[in-house]
Amino acid sequence: MKARLLYVEDDESLGFVTRDHLELQGYQVVHCADGPSALIALREGEFDLCLLDVMLPGIDGFSLAEEIRRKNADVPILFLTAKSLKEDRIRGLRLGADDYVTKPFSIEELILRIEVFLRRSRVSGAPKDYYQIGQYEFDYANLELRISDEVKRLTQREADLLRFLWKNNNQVVKRSSILETVWGEDDYFLGRSLDVFISRLRKYLKHDERIRIENIHGVGFCMQA
């Protein structure tokens, strides 16, 4: 079965034509005409890819992309927009968008872009090496955590811990599970080391107030962004 797409476009004619062509290709398309209705759709179901116009009633595409990234770090986001300013592209990419398709666009080009990003998101089960965590860019392969022009070089263990917490974003993970996955064994003295590493990550992530690593007393930790 083809992928399920969220398509947010307030232009009625363009929305109808684009949705029709995508459905003819076999995609399941949920079309929303404004930001608030798109948020409702996101709460009610999962999507394989999101197509967002920038200028939307209620909530613009940038804000919508930000909300999507808070809930899902992996789903591909493509902006469909008449805006082509460099500043707009940079802002969207920093918020976690994967690409832009500038209006007017051909349906063939759009479908090709969709297929490219769907293939990337379905590639093997190997760990993903790049993550958008709130306003931070986390390059796991190169052990770098970046925000604006500031880059923090992580140790391998710091990077392993950050990736594990982010992959379990908004979920409580037990201390024993973290220790066994990141350290290789569950040990009391390693547990004290874990607390030190958690403190370090909190310090590294302090520039985005929405990112929190909460201590769930007697259980473990929960990362939220």
CATH at residue 100: 3.40.50.2300
pLDDT, position 138:
92
Same domain, yes or no, for 110 and 211? no
Same domain, yes or no, for 20 and 113? yes
The domain boundary, picked from 94, 122, 150, lies at 122
pLDDT, position 38:
93
Report CA-CA distances (Å) from 206 to 96, 134, 203: 19, 11, 5
Host domain of residue 20: 4-122
Same domain, yes or no, for 81 and 177? no
Q: In Å, how far from its chain's centre is CA 195?
A: 27
Tokens representing 48 are 């394989």
Whether 113 shows a pLDDT value over 50: the answer reads yes
Same domain, yes or no, for 8 and 108? yes
Q: pLDDT, tens digit, for every residue of 39-58?
A: 899 888 889 999 998 888 88
- What would the mean pLDDT of 1-21 be, rounded to a whole number? 89
Same domain, yes or no, for 93 and 118? yes
pLDDT, position 85:
62
Question: Given the structure tokens 């950050």, which residue do they identify?
Answer: 162
Q: pLDDT exceeding 90 applies to what percent of the chain?
A: 35
Whether 25 shows a pLDDT value over 50: the answer reads yes
Same domain, yes or no, for 116 and 10? yes
pLDDT band for 5, please (50, 70, 90 cuts). very high
Q: How many domains does the chain have?
A: 2
Whether 211 shows a pLDDT value over 50: the answer reads yes
- 198 or 86, higher pLDDT: 198
Which of 31-35, 105-109, 118-122 shows the lowest per-residue confidence on average (mean pLDDT)? 118-122
Whether 194 shows a pLDDT value over 80: the answer reads yes
- 178 or 74, higher pLDDT: 178
Same domain, yes or no, for 144 and 111? no
Q: pLDDT, tens digit, for every residue of 53-84?
A: 888 888 888 888 888 887 777 788 898 877 66
Q: Are 211 and 133 in contact (CB under 8 A)?
A: yes
Same domain, yes or no, for 9 and 112? yes
Same domain, yes or no, for 65 and 136? no
CATH number at residue 207: 1.10.10.10
Any bridge partners for residue 52, and if so which?
A: 8, 79
Same domain, yes or no, for 14 and 110? yes
Whether 123 shows a pLDDT value over 50: the answer reads no
Same domain, yes or no, for 24 and 117? yes
- Other CB atoms closer than 10 Å to residue 164's CB: what's the count? 17
Helix (H, G, I), strand (E, B) or coil at 148: coil
- 214 or 80, higher pLDDT: 214
Nearest of 158, 156, 162 to residue 133 by alpha carbon: 162
The domain boundary, picked from 72, 96, 122, lies at 122
The domain boundary, picked from 55, 88, 122, lies at 122
- Other CB atoms closer than 10 Å to residue 161's CB: what's the count? 23
Nearest of 103, 92, 79, 75 to residue 4 by alpha carbon: 75
| CA atoms of 225 and 210, how far apart (whole Å) | 5
Any bridge partners for residue 220, and if so which?
A: 174, 216
Q: Are 3 and 118 in contact (CB under 8 A)?
A: yes
Same domain, yes or no, for 33 and 103? yes
pLDDT, position 88:
67
Q: pLDDT, tens digit, for every residue of 124-136?
A: 334 457 888 989 9
Which helix (H) or strand (E) covers residue 33, if one does?
A: none
Mean pLDDT of the chain: 85
